[in-house]
């Protein structure tokens, strides 16, 4: 196409049209901003100055003047929830949901908001209903996560299994907690009085199937399944099988040996084979030292070879792995089991009054004698598979705080 010089006369015309359009836009913007009540700008200003309380008052004023503004209601509801005013947050979102003319997209948004309100307010049944309604919407992923959390807190493991499988399909994420849900079901059958062994076995088979299908299964989940297999065997009166499962755990999840050290001791003592266990645990301790293994080894050595040998082991072990907790446990065994006082030569500590020494050490050990969550730092006297603080799975180390220093 050839350029014709007379086309140039259109240029000023185009500029003129652009100028007119810009003026119209600007006027429109000015008119709209004039239409907004002063309270809106006051609220915005309070928000920017991090004064959410005063911002809320200002926005409530705007909302009264213009009840149709959905965005403002969403902002208000969210502010109320953040401040913990759950009743007000729920009321705001309910009023949005009650509007017949609310577009579908905003209805989903309001449903997601009210579901979060219910969850934060602890109204789990209502939160569950709202989240279930959100499936097949753009909020399906956060809804699936929230449902998993709700079923976990209700200990509704069957629904949690279903929800976490769905979450896995939605996000392609691994869901390591799945095996733990089956373990929780197993444990609940074992805790019944009398224990329901057949149901526990069926639930544990499911856990084994999950682990079998996951070549990246963690040592923690393998340890838990093996511990439950051992507990199930013990409950069913099969001590030989219990022993085999516990010994497999030493191989497959060596860091978790401390959690089963006492069970191993009881199992081997029942058949007068403590000497076999002493040998086995001594070599395990050399590679994977832990406080609970030390405790059991000290007691076994004492029983098999006498208190002098036990203290010789303690001296070597505590030199290599200094531990106030270990020393306190050894002193407790000494005070409980010694029929005669420890001789001066054998006592690595010198013979100041042992009860006094135990008391002095005992004043400092409780703060180390805890398991701790790697994710949130929540501390507890017992080991948890799910952190009671942040609800993360497998976040607890199998070792106590002192051993992690
Ligand atoms: Zn935690």
DSSP helix, strand, coil percent of the chain (3-state; round to 5): 70, 0, 25
Is 3 within the bounds of a domain?
no
**Is the CB of residue 164 less than 8 Å from the CB of residue 181?**
yes
Do 356 and 379 reside in the same domain of the chain?
A: no
Question: What is the whole-number distance in angstroms between the Cα of residue 73 and the centre of ligand 1?
Answer: 34
- In a domain? residue 185: yes
| Residue 321 confidence class, pLDDT cut points 50, 70, 90 | confident
**Residue closest to 157 by CA, chosen among 179, 135, 190:** 179
- 253 and 333 in a single domain? The answer is no
How much of the chain, in percent, has pLDDT values that exceed 90? Answer: 56
Does the pTM exceed 0.85? no
Percentage above 70 pLDDT, the chain:
85
Distance 382 CA to ligand 1 centre (A): 14
Nearest C-alpha neighbor of 217 from the set 243, 180, 254: 180
Question: How far, in Å, from the CA of 256 to the mean position of ligand 1?
Answer: 19
**Spacing, Cα 99 to ligand 1 middle (Å):** 41
**Same domain flag for 202 and 280:** yes
Same domain, 246 and 299: no
Q: What is the pLDDT of residues 108-132, one digit of tens each?
A: 999 999 999 999 999 999 999 999 9
CATH code, 196: 1.25.40
Are residue 208 and residue 262 in the same domain, yes or no?
yes
Query: Which domain, by its residues, includes 264?
Result: 176-287
214 plus 299 within the same structural domain: no
Q: What is the pLDDT of the chain when averaged over all its residues?
A: 86
Instruction: For 2-61, write each residue's pLDDT tens digit.
Output: 567 766 776 777 777 667 666 555 555 545 555 566 767 777 787 777 777 777 777 766
pLDDT digit string (tens) for 229-266? 999 999 999 999 999 999 999 999 999 999 999 999 99
Residue 320, domain member (yes or no):
yes
Residue 263 and residue 308 in one domain: no
Ligand 1 center–CA 255 separation, angstroms: 20
Across residues 383-392, what is the average pLDDT? 93
How many domains are there within the chain? 3
| Residue 387 alpha carbon to ligand 1 centre in Å | 5
Answer whether residue 156 is part of any domain: no
10 part of a folded domain: no
DSSP result, 234-287: HHTT-HHHHHHHHHHHHHH-GGGGGGGHHHHHHHHHHTT-HHHHHHHHHHHHHH
- If asked whether residues 190 and 272 sit together in one domain, one would say yes
* CB half-sphere exposure, 384, CA atoms < 13 A: 19
One domain for residues 346 and 250: no
Instruction: Decide if 95 is inside a domain.
Output: no
User: Is 213 in the same domain as 189?
Assistant: yes
pLDDT of 68: 66
Domain boundary among 238, 256, 287: 287
Q: What is the mean pLDDT of residues 169-177?
A: 87
pLDDT of residue 42: 76
> From the CA of 184, how far away is ligand 1's center (Å)?
18
Q: How many angstroms does the Cα of residue 170 sit away from the middle of ligand 1? A: 25
């Amino acid at each position: 196409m050839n350029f014709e010089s007379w086309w140039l006369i259109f240029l000023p015309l185009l500029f003129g049209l652009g100028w007119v359009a810009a003026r119209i836009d600007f006027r429109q913007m000015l008119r709209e901003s004039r239409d907004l009540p002063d309270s809106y700008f006051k609220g915005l200003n309070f928000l920017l100055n991090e004064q959410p309380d005063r911002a809320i008052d200002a926005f409530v004023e705007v909302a009264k003047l213009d009840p149709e503004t959905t965005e403002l209601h969403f902002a208000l509801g969210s502010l109320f929830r953040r401040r913990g005013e759950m009743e007000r947050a729920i009321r705001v979102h309910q009023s949005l949901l009650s509007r017949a003319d609310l577009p579908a997209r905003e209805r989903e948004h309001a449903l997601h908001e009210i579901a979060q309100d219910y969850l934060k307010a602890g109204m789990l049944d209502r939160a569950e209903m709202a989240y279930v309604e959100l499936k097949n919407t753009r909020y399906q992923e956060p809804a699936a996560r929230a449902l998993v959390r709700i079923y976990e807190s209700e200990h509704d493991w069957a629904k949690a299994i279903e929800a976490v499988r769905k979450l896995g399909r939605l996000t392609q994420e691994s869901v390591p907690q799945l095996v733990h849900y089956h373990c929780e079901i197993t444990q609940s059958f074992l805790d019944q009085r009398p224990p329901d062994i057949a149901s526990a076995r069926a639930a544990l088979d499911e856990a084994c199937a999950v682990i079998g299908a996951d070549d990246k299964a963690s040592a923690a989940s393998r340890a838990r399944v093996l511990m439950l297999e051992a507990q199930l065997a013990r409950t069913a009166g099969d001590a030989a099988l219990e022993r085999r499962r516990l010994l497999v755990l030493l191989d497959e999840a060596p860091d978790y040996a401390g959690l089963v050290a006492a069970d191993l001791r009881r199992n081997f003592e029942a058949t007068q084979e403590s000497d076999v266990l002493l040998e086995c645990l001594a070599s395990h301790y050399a590679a994977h030292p832990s406080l609970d293994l030390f405790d059991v080894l000290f007691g076994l050595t004492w029983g098999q070879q006498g208190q002098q040998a036990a203290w010789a082991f303690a001296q070597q072990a505590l030199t290599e792995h200094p531990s106030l907790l270990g020393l306190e446990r050894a002193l407790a065994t000494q005070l409980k089991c010694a029929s005669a006082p420890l001789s001066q030569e054998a006592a690595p500590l010198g013979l100041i009054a042992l009860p006094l020494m135990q008391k002095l050490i005992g004043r400092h050990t409780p703060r180390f004698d805890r398991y701790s969550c790697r994710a949130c730092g929540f501390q507890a006297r017992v080991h948890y598979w799910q952190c009671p603080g942040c609800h993360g799975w497998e976040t607890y180390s199998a070792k106590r705080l002192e051993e992690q220093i």
